[in-house]
Chain A
C-alpha cells in the first residue's frame, strides 16, 4: 500500500475529485493548507501584513509567498499507484509553476474501523 500526498491548486480540487472518482478512487482526504515552493519569501513583509501594516500589504503580490493550496491524501494498493498518480497529474497539469507536487509514501497497515478489516480489504 502507498500513501499518495498531493499538493495542488485550490481551484483544481473539483476537477481532481471528479477524475479520481471516475478512476475508481472514492476515498480520500483533502485539507486547506498554505505553502510555498521554490520562490523567495520576505518574512518581514508577510508578518507586517498579518499585523495590518499598510506598507507591508502594499508590497504583497510582488513575489511568491505563502499560497493557499489543497493537500490531498489517498491510500491506494500498489498496483493502482501509477494510475492514480497519472490521474492527479492529468487533472492538475497546466505546465506552469505552482501546479503542485506529488509524494508517494509507504504505508505499513490500513484498518477499516467499522469492521476491523485490514490492509487490502480495508482499501476496497
Chain B
C-alpha cells in the first residue's frame, strides 16, 4: 500500500474556487473545504487603530498518495498565490502523514488514493 499524505492548505477565501479548479484540472477531484479564522506571522492585519487578528480563511483538505504530494502542493501554491510576487496572507500548506484510509461505501481499506 503506498503511503498517503493529508495536504492541509489554508488559503484566501477569494482564491479557494481557483485552487479547487486547479486541483480538479490536475486530476485531484476529491477535496474538503472548511471555513476557518486565524492569524499568521504578521499578527493579523492592522488598519489604522484597529487590529484584525481573526482573518477569514478557507482550509482545504486533500488526501493523496505520497508521490502525488509535490504535485498537489505545487498546484495549490501556483493557484493560491497573489499574482506576481505573492503577498502576506496568501496562506500556508501543511503535509501530514496518513497511516490508513478507508472508503465507507465499500467498507474496504484503500490501496490507492
Contact = CB atoms under 8 A, between A and B. Distances in A.
B17 A71 contact: no
Contacts of B37: none
A105 B102 CA distance: 12
Contacts of A41: 20, 24, 29
A103 B29 contact: no
Interface string A41-68: 1010011000000000000000000100
A43 B17 contact: yes
Contacts of A99: 103-105
A59 to B, nearest CB: 16
A96 B104 CA distance: 9
A98 B100 contact: no
A5 to B, nearest CB: 8
B99 A105 contact: yes
Interface in B27-45: 29-34
Given A41-B29, A94-B105, 20 more contacts: A8-B104, A34-B33, A35-B30, A36-B20, A36-B30, A37-B29, A39-B29, A40-B24, A41-B20, A41-B24, A43-B20, A47-B17, A85-B102, A100-B104, A100-B105, A101-B63, A102-B101, A102-B102, A103-B6, A103-B100
10 contacts: A6-B104, A36-B31, A41-B20, A41-B29, A66-B33, A85-B100, A101-B104, A102-B101, A105-B96, A106-B99
